[in-house]
Structure 1
Amino acid sequence: MKISIRVNNDLPYDELLQLVSAAEAADVDQIWVSHDLLLRSAPVLMGALAARTERIHLGIGIMNPYTVHTTEIAMVAATAQEVSGGRFALGVSAGATDFLGWAGLERRRPMTTVRQSVTALRALLGHNDIAEDDLPDWWSSSSSLRFPPTSPVPVYIGATGPQMRRLAGRIADGALPLLPCPDLFGKISADIHSGLRDADRDSAAFDLPACIWVSVGERDAARRALAEKLAYYGQSFSPDHLAPAGLRPIDFHEAGRYARAGDLGKAVEFIDDRMMRLAVVGSPEEVIEGCLELRELGARHVSFGPPLGPDPLAALAKLGRSVIPALRSATP
């Protein structure tokens, strides 16, 4: 069982470094850092983390081709691969409509934009299975990095809807689908495998993390930590992501309004029990139970997302002591 951790780029660098160092010590395989708008720069953080770690793999999850051109994303990825000694992975998707709106950008033709960007990125980042007809219109004979990637960079798609998941199976090296509830992993996996079959690709080479949010700790404090994250991000979730949980983006409107104004105390008042079911909250034993469910559904990579707990370092220590060993020792 492969284990990864996902963290937001809202953490100060010294706190992030402590968390990543603890993850490396806890035998976590990979850490993903988000690149959400108007927070810290994930590419800068990747360079710093690569210099201060030895084994753990690093990823940006996600960048989008609206705020940064595909060629510049490729520059970031190839450089991160070089400075990390081949430990880097790149996540790409269309991004959230309201986040892009903060920069005055429209989320135009997301499927086409992501397809063209991911195809070009894989061509630039050392993959040789790209058909010339699939490359975007701007591609030319000059479209190549002036320094060769030290090794091909895996490119993942942040996929929430079924069409994007099938696209990931057709063209990407992995996907990062956030699970609104564990029993959806089978449906998500089926969409991915549909795309893999369409493109006649090897499913064994495709990485599909079961991406869940966890908050480990004393229940009230763990609930509060998760509620703050849901208040900030809930409104940006896609309708496809929320529908299986009986939720809509508009349900998070009031919480989001207060969270983005800095009033988390008021924001969490609008996070109800239905919303809390989007994550696993409570003890390590409850996390193990949820993850073993995922394993039964075929998951071979579990990715734990923020907030991890009211004290992320303490939560990570608990995951390392009990959850990770339990998952790795469980019979497939």
Structure 2
Amino acid sequence: MDSDREFTRAGIWNWEKPDITDELHYAQYAEEAGLDSVWQGESRLVRDAMTVMGAYTQVTDEIDIAPGVTNCYTRNVALMAQTFSTLHELSGGRTKLGIGAWWDPLASKVGIDRGNPLRHMWEYCTVTRKLLDLENVTYDGDEIQVEDIELDLVRADAEPRDVPIYIGATGETMHQMTGELVGKGIVDGIFMNYFIPPEHVERGLERLEAGVEKQGGSMADVDRPQLIAVSMDEDVDVALDEARGLATQYIGQQPHITKASGISDANAERVEAELDWPATAADIERASEHVPDEVVRNIVATGTREDVIERLGDYCEAGCTEPVVYPLTDNMEDVIDAVAAAKAEGV
């Protein structure tokens, strides 16, 4: 494999397993296999990532732990800093903060007006970083206002919390803003979204590079893990069918994914017409008839073990520094083993 396609770091994305103890098991299994990170999903109103991440700190010893991603609205900046200060203590310094701008209709359904998501993210990360650095913060922004607050660590280790911050980004403007925040020393990297093709990654990273260079930095300063949906089966048709349902759901419910997927406008409209939120299994099955095989293959690493690793290489060649895999098939351990073996070969 070409060196640009190899990876020496890799992680898993855990979310919505039938039994919550399975998620703890897979975090342990990934650590034992030699993977570097476990990212806990927190998207729809399923499981709270922070609770599960706290459990991970107690059943693992070395693997990094992060939400992939939480949002910058439902927890105010003080609570977010407090939470990650606590997780930092519990994990021995292994936690990262992955944070995104959430999405509608979920935000509006719970009464949140997202305002200006880009400005909100800029201000939220700025204040959170200051709090984790144990600064006393007064901030009067367009979106965030706080007065005379700081982490009160009189009964804890009163050292700054070295918690790397990663912005979850899909749109190109969010990529550029993330680059600027890295250049300013506020965030550490980007957590690139799933269900997008490598070509979209390349376009986003061009904007990321423009942002970091604007602030006097370079791409070497920006860590770039990439969430990648994986459907692995030796029967390529089974792998394709297993991937189609969730791919359909994201195409129909998240406009940024729709745009990036390569689906035609006509088919996108047909998919959207079939899906309410939250979508039922029957809704998804009907809508999936309008998602062609080539669209699924474009946004999911699907096929045999070799096919999947080859596709991960496409993302690394596009600029990903750490593939973070989310298996859509019921073979999490097999996928972890495959990715761990490919990582070992790349060292």
- Normalised by the size of structure 1, how large is the TM-score? 0.86
Provide the rounded CA distance (Å) in 2 between the counterparts of 1:100 and 1:257. Answer: 15
Please report how far the alpha carbon of residue 10 of structure 1 lies from its aligned counterpart in structure 2 after TM superposition: 5.2
1:44 lines up with 2:44 in the alignment = no
Please report how far the alpha carbon of residue 188 of structure 1 lies from its aligned counterpart in structure 2 after TM superposition: 2.1
- For structure 2, the 5+ residue unaligned runs are 1-7, 182-186
Q: Partner of 2:5 in structure 1? A: none
Q: Partner of 2:165 in structure 1? A: 155
Q: Partner of 1:214 in structure 2? A: 230
Provide the rounded CA distance (Å) in 2 between the counterparts of 1:182 and 1:127. Answer: 39
- Normalised by the size of structure 2, how large is the TM-score? 0.83
Distance 1:158 1:252, change over 3 A: farther
Picking from 184, 189, 198, the partner of 2:200 is 184
Provide the rounded CA distance (Å) in 2 between the counterparts of 1:252 and 1:61. Answer: 26
Picking from 20, 23, 29, the partner of 1:16 is 23
Kept in 1: contact 2:10–2:340 (CA 8 A): no
- Which amino acid counterpart does residue 191 of structure 1 have in structure 2? R
Provide the rounded CA distance (Å) in 2 between the counterparts of 1:125 and 1:150. Answer: 6
Matches within 5 A, 1:15-164: 15-126=22-133, 138-140=145-147, 142-147=148-153, 148=158, 151-164=161-174
Kept in 2: contact 1:255–1:269 (CA 8 A): no
Kept in 2: contact 1:9–1:33 (CA 8 A): no
Kept in 1: contact 2:72–2:121 (CA 8 A): yes
Distance 1:149 1:212, change over 3 A: farther
The percentage of counterpart residues that share the same residue type is 23
Distance 1:188 1:149, change over 3 A: farther
Matches within 5 A, 1:142-291: 142-147=148-153, 148=158, 151-171=161-181, 172-178=187-193, 180-201=196-217, 203-217=219-233, 218-239=235-256, 242-243=259-260, 245-246=262-263, 250=269, 252-254=271-273, 256-257=275-276, 260-263=279-282, 265-266=285-286, 268-276=288-296, 277-291=298-312
Please report how far the alpha carbon of residue 266 of structure 1 lies from its aligned counterpart in structure 2 after TM superposition: 4.6
Q: What do the CA deviations read for 1:203-238 (whole angstroms, capped 9, x no partner)?
A: 433211233221111323322332232233333333
Please report how far the alpha carbon of residue 296 of structure 1 lies from its aligned counterpart in structure 2 after TM superposition: 3.5
Kept in 2: contact 1:119–1:135 (CA 8 A): no
Please report how far the alpha carbon of residue 48 of structure 1 lies from its aligned counterpart in structure 2 after TM superposition: 0.5
Kept in 1: contact 2:42–2:69 (CA 8 A): yes
Kept in 2: contact 1:231–1:259 (CA 8 A): no
Q: Partner of 2:335 in structure 1? A: 315
Kept in 2: contact 1:4–1:303 (CA 8 A): yes
1:302 lines up with 2:323 in the alignment = yes
Distance 1:245 1:283, change over 3 A: same
Kept in 1: contact 2:197–2:299 (CA 8 A): yes
- Which amino acid counterpart does residue 304 of structure 2 have in structure 1? S
- Which amino acid counterpart does residue 339 of structure 2 have in structure 1? L
More displaced 10-residue stretch of structure 1: 255-264 or 54-63:
255-264
Kept in 1: contact 2:70–2:100 (CA 8 A): yes
Distance 1:11 1:81, change over 3 A: farther
More displaced 10-residue stretch of structure 1: 147-156 or 256-265:
256-265
Please report how far the alpha carbon of residue 86 of structure 1 lies from its aligned counterpart in structure 2 after TM superposition: 0.5
Provide the rounded CA distance (Å) in 1 between the counterparts of 2:18 and 2:83. Answer: 21
**Corresponding residue SS for 1:107:** coil
Provide the rounded CA distance (Å) in 2 between the counterparts of 1:101 and 1:135. Answer: 20
Q: Cα RMSD between the aligned structures?
A: 2.9
Provide the rounded CA distance (Å) in 2 between the counterparts of 1:115 and 1:245. Answer: 30
More displaced 10-residue stretch of structure 1: 39-48 or 200-209:
200-209
Distance 1:262 1:112, change over 3 A: same
Q: What do the CA deviations read for 1:69-125 (whole angstroms, capped 9, x no partner)?
A: 222122221111110111101111211112223323232211111111111111112
Provide the rounded CA distance (Å) in 1 between the counterparts of 2:53 and 2:281. Answer: 27
Provide the rounded CA distance (Å) in 2 between the counterparts of 1:251 and 1:94. Answer: 27
Provide the rounded CA distance (Å) in 2 between the counterparts of 1:89 and 1:286. Answer: 30
**Corresponding residue SS for 2:169:** coil
